[in-house]
C-alpha cells in the first residue's frame, strides 16, 4: 500500500503555510461540501471513521462531538476549543502542522464548528510557541480575508469567529479543563469532575468541544474521502495515521506520519535510521513522558492505542523518546520527577507533596546517599499519588486531574523495570552505567546560526 | 509615574477585548502585551494598570500571573536564555549546555549578568525534542546546539545589544 499522508500531505510543498500555496494544493476545498451537509451528518461521518483523539487519551472524536447539544437541544452558545498546548515532554508533532500547514487546521476547525453548531472557536497555543503563533495568526488573518472565516462563510449563512489565544507556560494547561480555566483568564487549575466532558459545562459555562490540533486536522480528509475510507487505514479500533515524534538517541529524530499499528522497531530502524553511534537500544518511552517505559526487549510492539495499552503503557501523544545504553535510569527518573514536581498545580495534596517527595528521594540516590529501603518507599509514595497503569499498585484517580498518574506511572515503571540500577546506585553510591553527557547533536543536523 | 499603553498597544488591547465575552478572559493576552510594552516584565505598577483596565483587583491579576512561568515579576536581562532541561534534551546533553553557558557568562542559572544583558533560566520541555539540545532566547528557538554554535549565538547577541 502506498504511504497515505493525511496530515503531512504538503510535506514536500515549499511555503505551504502561505494561503496561495495552500489553496493551490487543495486547502479549504471541503468547506462547500460540508455546508451542503447537515451538521449531524458530518458528526456521523467522523463517528464512522473511528478517529480517536490524538491529544493523549484516545477518546473517539465523533462520540465526543455528539455530546454537544445541537438543534433544539442547544440553549446557550456552543464553543470549539483547539488544544495546541503541546506540553507533554517529547511532543513536537502539532508544531509541524502549525508551522507547515496551518490552513489544514483552520479548515478542520471550520468544518468541526459547523458540525457542532458553534460560531466561536479558540486555538489555545502554548506561550513558548511564539513563532508558531505568528504563523498561525497570519494564516487566520488570510482566511478571514478570503472569506473562510467570519460572517456568512462562502455564502453558507454560517458564521465563525476564530481567535488565537496564547498560554504562558504551564504544562497542566494541556489538561482540557485547566485549559478552559486558563482561557477564562484564571490560574490553570483543572476542574473537579464530574462533569467529565466540557460538552456539559465548558468555556464560560457553555457547552464546549475541546480537541487536539492533530485530531481536527484529520477532519478535512475524512469529509473528502468518507469515514469508511479513513477506517481502512491502520487497524480496527485504531484507525487512521498518526504523527509520531521521535526524539533521543536515534540517527534521524523527527516527525513521521505512519498508519497506526506500525511496529516500534520498524519505526526506529526504517524511519529513524537506527540507534546513534551503533549503540545498543536500552529503552523507549512510547507515548510522552507520562507513559511507562518499555525495555529494549519489549519494543517489538505495535504502535497503536490498544496494543500499547496491552503492553502496559500507552500511545499518549505519540511522543517516542529513545534511550541507548549510555542512559542512566536514575537520571531519567530524577529528570521526570523534577518536571512533575515543577508542573504540579498544587491543588491536590498527593500530587503537590508526593512529586517533590519522590524527587528528593531519587535526588538522594543520585547524590550517592541512597538507602536500599528508599526504593520501596518511592514506590509506596507513587502508589499514593497515582497508582500504576494496570491497577496493580493502588487505585487511580486520587487527584483532580491525571497529573498524579502522569508522574507516578513512569516512576513505577522505571523502578520496577530497572530496579537493579537503582539498587546498585544505593549500594555503591554511583551509577552502574557509563554515562555519556556530552552534547550529541549530529554534525549534519546543525544549520548555520541565523541572527533574528 | 503612571504607566500607559502606547497608541498602537492601546489599539491591540481594544481589539483583544472584542474577542472574548468578558474582560477577564483577555487577561493572559493583556499580560503578554503589557510585558512586551513595559520593559520585559510585569511590575507592580503594570499590575495596577492592568487591573484598572480590566475591572479586576490587583490581587486577581497577580493571582493569575503568578501561575505562569512566562510572566516575570522582576526585571530580566535583555536576553533571557532558557535552556530546556527535560528528558529528550537532557539525554542529548542539555546539562552540558547549561554548564557551558554558565561558565561562559559567569553566572548561575537563575541569575542575570552584571551588565544586564543575559539571564539564564532552566525551562521545562519547549517542544523541540527532535532538535535537542535546544534553548530559547526571548522569542526565538535555537536548536541542535553545539558548543561552537553557542559561542556564535552569544557573539551575535552581544553585537545586537
Domain assignments of chain B as residue spans, ordered by start: 7-65, 79-160
- Taking CB atoms and an 8 Å cutoff, what residues of chain B touch A129? 127
User: Residue for cell digits 502496559?
Assistant: A312
In terms of CA atoms, which chain A residue is nearest residue B67?
A: A187
pLDDT of A396 reads: 74
Is residue B156 within 8 angstroms of chain A, CB to CB?
yes
Q: How far is B146 from chain A, CA to nearest CA, in Å? A: 6
Label residue B55 left, alpha or beta by phi (over 0 means left) and psi (-120 to 50 means alpha). left
pLDDT at position B2, please?
A: 82
Please tell me which of the candidates B28, B87, B95 has its beta carbon nearest to residue A166.
Answer: B28
Same domain, A316 and A343: no
End-to-end CA distance of chain A: 43
Q: Which of A176, A210, A232 is at the close of a domain?
A: A232
CB contacts < 8 A (A, B): 171
Model pLDDT for residues A125-179, shown as the tens digit of each residue? 999 999 999 999 999 999 999 999 999 999 999 999 999 999 999 999 999 999 9
CATH of the domain at A146: 3.40.50.11540
> Cβ of A65 under 8 Å from any chain B Cβ?
no
Query: Which stretches of chain B score pLDDT less than 70?
Result: 1
Percent of chain B with pLDDT over 90: 98
* B45-48 long-range Cβ contacts below 8 angstroms, 24+ apart: B45/B1, B45/B2, B45/B3, B46/B3
Query: What pLDDT was estimated at residue A393?
Result: 66
In this predicted structure, the answer to whether residue A1 has a pLDDT above a threshold of 80 is: no
Is the pLDDT confidence value at A447 over 70?
Answer: no
Q: A157 and A136, same structural domain? A: yes
Mutate to test the interface with A, among B79, B81, B129, B132 (most CBs of A within 10 A): B129
Q: Which residues of A touch B86 (CB under 8 A)?
A: 89, 289, 335, 339
**What 3-state DSSP class applies to A376?**
helix
Beta-strand relationship, A294-295 and A238-239: unpaired
Is A318:A91 a contact under the CB 8 Å cutoff? yes
Residue A42 maps to a domain:
yes
Last residue of a domain, one of A209, A232, A255: A232
Same domain? A166 vs A55: yes
- pLDDT tens-digit map of A169-186: 999 999 999 999 999 999
Candidates B93, B123, B129; nearest CB to A245: B129
Residues A23-46 have a mean pLDDT of 97
- Select the residue of A91, A185, A438 nearest B127 (Cβ to Cβ): A91
Cross-chain residue pair A447–B139, CB shorter than 8 Å: no
Minimum Cα–Cα distance from B97: chain A residue: A439
**Cis previous bond, A195, omega within 30:** yes
Residue A439 lies in a domain: no
How close, in Å, is residue B114 to chain A by CA atoms?
A: 24
A252: containing domain = 238-324
Contact of B161 with chain A, judged by CB distance below 8 Å, is answered with no
CB of A133 within 8 Å of any CB in chain B? no
- Nine-digit cell at A189? 487549575
Looking up residue A320, the CATH number of its domain turns out to be 3.10.20.600
Query: Could you identify the residue written with the cell 520541555?
Result: B125
Query: At A448, is the pLDDT very low, low, confident or very high (cuts 50, 70, 90)?
Result: low
Looking at beta carbons, which pairs linking A141-146 to residues 24 or more positions away fall under 8 Å? A142/A18, A142/A19, A142/A103, A143/A19, A143/A28, A143/A103, A143/A106, A146/A19, A146/A23, A146/A28
**End of a domain among A176, A211, A232?**
A232
Spatial distance between the Cα atoms of A231 and A105, rounded to a whole number of angstroms: 20
Class of domain B79-160: alpha beta
pLDDT tens digits, B54-69: 999 999 999 999 999 9
CATH 1.10.10 applies to domain B7-65: yes
* Pairwise CB contact (< 8 Å): B95 & A437: yes
Closest in B63, B71, B124 to A343, CB measured = B124
- Domain check: are A254 and A211 in the same one? no
**Separation CA A129–CA A363 (nearest Å):** 31
pLDDT in tens, A362-392: 999 999 999 999 999 999 999 999 987 776 6
Q: Residue A156: which residues within 8 A CB-CB, separation 6 or more? A: A31, A35
Residues 6+ apart with CB under 8 A from B155: none
> In Å, how far is B159's CA from the nearest CA of chain A?
10
Give the integer Cα–Cα distance in Å for A290 and A336.
9
Please tell me the predicted confidence (pLDDT) of residue A452: 44
* A24 in the same domain as A70: yes
Nearest CA in chain B to A247: B130
- Complex confidence, ipTM: 0.96
Between residues 33 and 52 of chain B, which touch chain A (CB distance below 8 Å)?
none
Question: Is there a single domain that holds both residue A188 and residue A316?
Answer: no
Closest by Cβ to B124, choosing from A171, A184, A332: A171
CA distance B9 to chain A (A): 17
**What grid cell was written down for A312?**
502496559
B66-96, pLDDT tens digit by residue? 999 999 999 999 999 999 999 999 999 999 9
pLDDT at A220 over 60: yes
A261 has pLDDT over 60: yes
For residue A79, being part of any structural domain is answered with yes
- A161·B21 Cβ contact <8 A: no
Look at residue A286 and give its three-state secondary structure.
coil
- Say if A54 falls within a structural domain: yes
**Residues of B (80-99) whose Cβ lies below 8 Å from A:** 85-88, 90-93, 95-97
Do A352 and A211 share a structural domain?
A: no
Residues of A within 8 A of B141 (CB-CB) are 131
Same domain, A272 and A304: yes
Phi, psi (rounded to 5 degrees) for A42 = -65, -45
Which of B129, B149, B160 is the closest to A90 by Cβ?
Answer: B129
Give how many domains chain A has, as a whole number: 3
Q: How many angstroms away from the CA of A444 is the closest CA of chain B?
A: 10
In tens, the pLDDT along A271-280 reads: 999 999 899 9
- Co-location of A81 and A114 in the same domain: yes
The answer to whether the B7-65 and B79-160 domains have the same CATH topology is: no
Residue A261 sits in the same domain as residue A209: no
Looking at residue A391, what is its pLDDT? Answer: 66
Asked if the C-beta of A131 comes within 8 angstroms of chain B's C-beta atoms, the answer is: yes
Chain B CB within 8 Å of residue A205 CB: no
Cell 547524590, residue located: A367
> Do A119 and A64 fall into the same domain?
yes
A359 shares a domain with A333:
yes
The average pLDDT across A294-309 equals 97
Amino acid at each position: 500500500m502506498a504511504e497515505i499522508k493525511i496530515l503531512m500531505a504538503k510535506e514536500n510543498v515549499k511555503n505551504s503555510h502561505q494561503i496561495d500555496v495552500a489553496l493551490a494544493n487543495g486547502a479549504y476545498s471541503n468547506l462547500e461540501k460540508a455546508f451542503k451537509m447537515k451538521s449531524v451528518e458530518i458528526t456521523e461521518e467522523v463517528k464512522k471513521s473511528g478517529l480517536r483523539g490524538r491529544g493523549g487519551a484516545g477518546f473517539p472524536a465523533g462520540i465526543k462531538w455528539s455530546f454537544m447539544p445541537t438543534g433544539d437541544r442547544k440553549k446557550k452558545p456552543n464553543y470549539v476549543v483547539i488544544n495546541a498546548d503541546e506540553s507533554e515532554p517529547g511532543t513536537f508533532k502539532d508544531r509541524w502542522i502549525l508551522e507547515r500547514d496551518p490552513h489544514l487546521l483552520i479548515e478542520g476547525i471550520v468544518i468541526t464548528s459547523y458540525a457542532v453548531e458553534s460560531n466561536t472557536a479558540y486555538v489555545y497555543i502554548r506561550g513558548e510557541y511564539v513563532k508558531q503563533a505568528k504563523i498561525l495568526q497570519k494564516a487566520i488573518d488570510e482566511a478571514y480575508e478570503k472569506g473562510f472565516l467570519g460572517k456568512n462563510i462562502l455564502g453558507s449563512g454560517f458564521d465563525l469567529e476564530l481567535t488565537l489565544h496564547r498560554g504562558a507556560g504551564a504544562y497542566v494547561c494541556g489538561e482540557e479543563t485547566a485549559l478552559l480555566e486558563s482561557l477564562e483568564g484564571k490560574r490553570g487549575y483543572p476542574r473537579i469532575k464530574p462533569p467529565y466532558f466540557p460538552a456539559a459545562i465548558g468555556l464560560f459555562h457553555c457547552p464546549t468541544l475541546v480537541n487536539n490540533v492533530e485530531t481536527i486536522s484529520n477532519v478535512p480528509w475524512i469529509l473528502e474521502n468518507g469515514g469508511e475510507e479513513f477506517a481502512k487505514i491502520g487497524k480496527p479500533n485504531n484507525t487512521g495515521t498518526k504523527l509520531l515524534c521521535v526524539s533521543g538517541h536515534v540517527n534521524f529524530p523527527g516527525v513521521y506520519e505512519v498508519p497506526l499499528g506500525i511496529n516500534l522497531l520498524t519505526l526506529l530502524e526504517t524511519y529513524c535510521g537506527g540507534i546513534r553511534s551503533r549503540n545498543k537500544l536500552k529503552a523507549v518511552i512510547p507515548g510522552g513522558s507520562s507513559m511507562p517505559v518499555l525495555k529494549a526487549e519489549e519494543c517489538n510492539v505495535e504502535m497503536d492505542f490498544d496494543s500499547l495499552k496491552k503492553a502496559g503503557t500507552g500511545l499518549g501523544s505519540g511522543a517516542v523518546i529513545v534511550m541507548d545504553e549510555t542512559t542512566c535510569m536514575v537520571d531519567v527518573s530524577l529528570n521526570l520527577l523534577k518536571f512533575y514536581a515543577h508542573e504540579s498545580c498544587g491543588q491536590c495534596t498527593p500530587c503537590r507533596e508526593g512529586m517533590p517527595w519522590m524527587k528528593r528521594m531519587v535526588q538522594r540516590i543520585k547524590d550517592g546517599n541512597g538507602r536500599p529501603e528508599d526504593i520501596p518507599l518511592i514506590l509506596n509514595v507513587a502508589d499514593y499519588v497515582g497508582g500504576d497503569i494496570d491497577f496493580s499498585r493502588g487505585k487511580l484517580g486520587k487527584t483532580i486531574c491525571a497529573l498524579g498518574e502522569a508522574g507516578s506511572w513512569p516512576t513505577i515503571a522505571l523502578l520496577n523495570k530497572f530496579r537493579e540500577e537503582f539498587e546498585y546506585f544505593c549500594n555503591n553510591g554511583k551509577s552502574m552505567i557509563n554515562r555519556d553527557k556530552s552534547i550529541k547533536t549530529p554534525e549534519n543536523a546543525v544549520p548555520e546560526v541565523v541572527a533574528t | 509615574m503612571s504607566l500607559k499603553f502606547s497608541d498602537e498597544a492601546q489599539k491591540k488591547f481594544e481589539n483583544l477585548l472584542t474577542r472574548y465575552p468578558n474582560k477577564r478572559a483577555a487577561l493572559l493576552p493583556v499580560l503578554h502585551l503589557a510585558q512586551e510594552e513595559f520593559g520585559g516584565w510585569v511590575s507592580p505598577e503594570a499590575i495596577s494598570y492592568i487591573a484598572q483596565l480590566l475591572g479586576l483587583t490587583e490581587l486577581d491579576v497577580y493571582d493569575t500571573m503568578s501561575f505562569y512561568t512566562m510572566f516575570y515579576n522582576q526585571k530580566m536581562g535583555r536576553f533571557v536564555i532558557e535552556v530546556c532541561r527535560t528528558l529528550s534534551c537532557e539525554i542529548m546533553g542539555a546539562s552540558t549546555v547549561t554548564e557551558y553557558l554558565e561558565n561562559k557568562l559567569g553566572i548561575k542559572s537563575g541569575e542575570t549578568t552584571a551588565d544586564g544583558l543575559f539571564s539564564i533560566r532552566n525551562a521545562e520541555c519547549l517542544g523541540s525534542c527532535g532538535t535537542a539540545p535546544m534553548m530559547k532566547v526571548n522569542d526565538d528557538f535555537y536548536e541542535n546546539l553545539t558548543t561552537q554554535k553557542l559561542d556564535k549565538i552569544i557573539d551575535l547577541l552581544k553585537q545586537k545589544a
